[in-house]
Amino acid sequence: MWHDDILGTIGGTPLVRVNRLAAHLPGTVLAKLEYFNPGGSVKDRIGISMLEDAEARGELAPGGTIVEGTSGNTGVGLALAAIARGYTCIFATTDKQSPEKIAILRALGAEVIVCPTAVDPEDPRSYYQVSRRLAEETPNSFYMNQYDNPANTLAHLRTTGPELWEGTEGRITHLFVGSGTGGTISGSAAYLKERNPDVRIIGVDPYGSVYWKYFHTGEFDEDEIYPYVTEGVGEDILAGNMNFDIVDDYVRVTDRESMLMTRRLSREEGMFLGGSCGMAMAGALQWMEANRDAIDDDAVLVVIMPDGGYRALGKVYNDVWMQEHGFLEEDETLTAGALAARRSTEKALVSAPADMTLDDAIGVMREHAISQVPVMEGEEVVGSLTERDILRYLMGDPDARAHLVRDLMGPPFPVVRASSPVHGFADQLRGEQPAVLVREEDGTLGILTRSDLISALGAGSGGDEWPENVRTRKQLSNNRVTTESILRARDADRK
């Protein structure tokens, strides 16, 4: 069985039990993992729904252009639908969205205009207004307007709601959803309430959004609007798709709670998710704690997880970004000493004495496979020597190899304390400095280079190191999986 195009793979996302994080609570807590959609988010559902609705109403002509304001995920869903149906896309987004989201949109062939976040919705620079203007200026185009387009809500009434009901065999008692455009919560709730009016719908909002207060007071309070970093949820407007009448309660969550919960979901549940998922789960657990007496053991509580973690690698899963935003305490993050200890099993710092010849210094660097060394005069660091310096000397002076290092060295590398968090010295390695020295409490020195920082951050928040022995291509070729070996394994399994 195959699908005619990528759109056939949308929907049918799994429900997975939340074990460790909800172990102390009554009932069964489930996560609906929307990153299993082909575009990686719940918004794949509304992309094709809004496109087909526009086609049916004659708003989109063959070869036309889809225009939309998006935080990234809706754009991906629309881009997939556009590729399958032969349209082009122009998207306006905000500068708080992750670079990964913008890169994905462009990889899918969309034109992307990045707009400032911290402006009023009516400001002509806002992504709401820019997308509207682009639709007016672009021939044969249609502005999807996910905020007010009823096909957004309809997508979840037709797909997400039924999946929640069928996936829990009609046992779902509570649904927790973060809301932006309002389509997911409104469409899913409409279906579930139709099947069982007693199902409770709880919205989750970030601080800085207007929804929480509007739900509880009916007041649109502009003083509640301020910047927050959690992407794709909350609003500074009242979206047309947001139906507060079928929502039973609302909770709100700080950015810090959202980001830390996102990391916990990855580490403790194996769910590699985006920041809005951490927000939804943090809000859900907060509500369950406050209302645990009203939750019985037979309750089935579902949290919709809108997207996956790959689009958050530069933010939620980056210790530097987390520290810079105050989401990690210093003892929770990587330090210079920890990274220096990670880089090598050698305790002693490799250095070049100032009275060594350049030729001997080159030999030391080759022996240890390093590209820079501090220059020492006794116990004192007096300078530095880098591959770039050496190349310049050798190209300019045929006799440079015989010169003493002290006559050729550059300024010393900066020295940082071992307890310094990464964010405290990362800017130095982003600039001209190729390395920093790390001073331990006992006075001994270590060294950190750009590649050490890249390796540490690239390994993820768990800090896994590279394997000690990396197999060569020849070694890999000696362990090829062949058709014969697969068939032998299958036959052995059958026996």
Residues recognised as catalytic: 43
Kind of pairing between the strands at 15-17 and 28-33: antiparallel
Distance CA 297, CA 376 (A): 68
Whole-angstrom Cα Rg for the chain: 28
Residues comprising the chain, all counted: 495
Longest pairwise C-alpha distance within the chain? 88
Distance CA 176, CA 28 (A): 13
DSSP labels for 275-307?
HHHHHHHHHHHHHHHHTGGG--TT-EEEEEE-B
Q: Are 141 and 90 in contact (CB under 8 A)?
A: yes
Distance CA 490, CA 488 (A): 5
Spatial neighbors of 464 by CB under 8 A, at least 6 apart, are: none
3 state SS of 410: strand
Distance CA 17, CA 462 (A): 23
3 state SS of 357: strand
Residue closest to 56 by CA, chosen among 121, 142, 147: 142
- Strand arrangement of the beta sheet that strand 445-449 belongs to: 415-417, 435-439, 445-449
Spatial neighbors of 180 by CB under 8 A, at least 6 apart, are: 71, 232, 233, 234, 235, 239
Q: How many CA atoms lie within 13 A of 278 on its CB side?
A: 27
Distance CA 415, CA 388 (A): 21
CB atoms within 10 A of CB 7: 21
Distance CA 145, CA 139 (A): 17
Element (H, E) at 206: strand 200-206
